[in-house]
Amino acid sequence: MYSYDMEWYVNELGTQVRRLILHLPEEADLLDVKKDCFSVYTERRDEHGDIVCSRPVWYEKELKKSAGYRTILAAYPSTKDGEPVRKSRFITLELDMNDWLSKTIVGSLDHSKFVDCIFRVTQTKELDVMVGMVFDEPGDILCPQTSMWSHGISSYEKLPLRYGFFTPKGNGRRPLIIWLHGAGEGGTDPRIAYMGNEVVALSSDKVQDYFGAAWVLAPQCPTMWMDDGSHTYGRTGKSMYVSALKVLIDEFVQIHEIDRNRIYIGGCSNGGFMTMRMLIDYPDFFAAAYPMCEALYDETITNQQISSICHIPVWMLHAMTDSVVNPEETSVPTYHRLKDAGAKNVHLTYINDRPPFKIVNHACWTLGLADKENYDFDGQPVILAGKPVTRFQWLAAQQRK
């Protein structure tokens, strides 16, 4: 029996097993290695070792056993990190990520969690003198996108919050980008807060270049940000986590070299709710905000609160087709009230289409984190310094006054 390493990849669907790196007893040659030389069987198991039953797609009702064969897209000799080479004692198998069994996280709108992805790779054709090899001993998990991410927990005794964070390159004071997760990413594993969705896009070279290198902070609450203490979803507009989150942010800013005039806050759905909540409760703290499909019902926001935050640059994102959070009760009326109150730098990208995945009718963050939308409520591009800009280009230019 031989071992294998897994490479995880974070994208708009969460975190998936993209490649397996097999450890061989001898060198293999590129000319001999073909994808039909192997078969890949996988099971997803819970903390008790039982095979998980889950929905292949979140909106389907039928639960299926998380076990089956994966499709191999390519096979080649590689370095231990998966880079192709001519000869090696490692073989990398690239797997089809359209397969629902590729996902390392299972869950619902309540909570998500990582599962154990167990593989058994069987050699089906001879490789030089190597025959009948079986790879079923798990080795390392590789995820280059999260290599600079770390974890922490706040010191607030009443309600400590866990968090993940990205450390930027270079020295000196850097801006801080805060991401607040949706309802499905609450719990006690801070990796879910930044790997349950493509939050690592904020630590990508593209976005980091916009900001000249920035810290990224992804707090996690045990339940959901909309929890007003009743542990249920409601329309009160309150959150039991307001003080706890502010303490976490203040501690993080104090510990690290943060430019206090460039602290940005955003998030999706429940996190969009909390973004707006934090602006209202701390109107002089943040440089700008980028809420997506935010769930703070406009009926809970007073005219005085609207006036108190209309100076804050805000760029909202919401889909007309959202069947989970109605934009006509949240983002749209709040946007209009801010504009009517005199807000000069408030935008709302109102999506009127559906990208390939059905979940995007609510999950507009798949587009928001990809930085693909750059137009305002009227359909015209958002202009900065005479040029159209994307949301993160715009965000990086904002400073607290």
Residue 359, pLDDT > 50, answer no
Q: What is the mean pLDDT of residues 118-129?
A: 90
User: Is pLDDT larger for residue 52 or for residue 372?
Assistant: 52
Predicted confidence band at 59 (pLDDT cuts at 50, 70, 90)? low
Rounded Cα distance between 239 and 233, Å, is 10
Write the DSSP symbol of residue 375. Answer: B
Residue 241, pLDDT > 90, answer yes
Q: What is the mean pLDDT of residues 156-185?
A: 96
The values of phi and psi at residue 243, to 5°, are -65, -40
Residue 65, pLDDT > 80, answer yes
Q: What count of Cα atoms within 13 Å lies in the side-chain half-sphere of residue 198?
A: 16
User: Is pLDDT larger for residue 170 or for residue 221?
Assistant: 221
Instruction: State the amino acid at position 215 in one-letter form.
Output: W
User: Is pLDDT larger for residue 60 or for residue 263?
Assistant: 263
Residue 310, pLDDT > 80, answer yes
What is the CA 83 to chain-centroid distance, rounded? 26
Residue 63, pLDDT > 90, answer no
Give, for 246, the enclosing helix (H) or strand (E).
Answer: helix 242-255
Query: pTM for the whole thing?
Result: 0.94
Residue 355, pLDDT > 70, answer no
Q: What is the mean pLDDT of residues 350-368?
A: 72
Say which range, 73-77, 183-187, 256-260, has the weakest mean pLDDT.
Answer: 183-187
User: Is pLDDT larger for residue 168 or for residue 233?
Assistant: 168
User: Is pLDDT larger for residue 210 or for residue 357?
Assistant: 210
Which percentage of the chain shows pLDDT scores above 90? Answer: 84
User: Is pLDDT larger for residue 396 or for residue 13?
Assistant: 396
Give the pLDDT confidence score for residue 360 in this predicted structure.
59
Q: What is the mean pLDDT of residues 111-129?
A: 91
Residue 345, pLDDT > 90, answer yes
Q: Could you tell me if 279 and 304 are in contact, meaning their C-beta atoms sit under 8 angstroms apart?
A: no
Write the DSSP symbol of residue 14. Answer: E
Rounded Cα distance between 218 and 192, Å, is 10
Give the pLDDT confidence score for residue 300 in this predicted structure.
97
Residue 61, pLDDT > 80, answer no
With both helix axes pointing from N to C terminus, report the angle between 242-255 and 270-281 in degrees, rounded to the nearest 10. 80
Which percentage of the chain shows pLDDT scores above 70? Answer: 97
Instruction: State the amino acid at position 147 in one-letter form.
Output: S
- Give the pLDDT confidence of 40-51 residue by residue, as tens digits: 999 999 999 999
Rounded Cα distance between 300 and 307, Å, is 14
Q: pLDDT averaged over the chain?
A: 94
Write the DSSP symbol of residue 329. Answer: G
User: Helix %, strand %, coil % for the chain, to 5?
Assistant: 25, 35, 40
Give the pLDDT confidence score for residue 372 in this predicted structure.
84
Q: Could you tell me if 215 and 175 are in contact, meaning their C-beta atoms sit under 8 angstroms apart?
A: yes
DSSP β-ladder status, 258-268 and 288-292: parallel
Give the pLDDT confidence score for residue 362 in this predicted structure.
87
Residue 376, pLDDT > 90, answer yes
With b for 16 or more beta-carbon neighbours within 10 A and e for fewer, the 262-284 pattern comes to bbbbbbbbbbbbbbbbbbbbeee
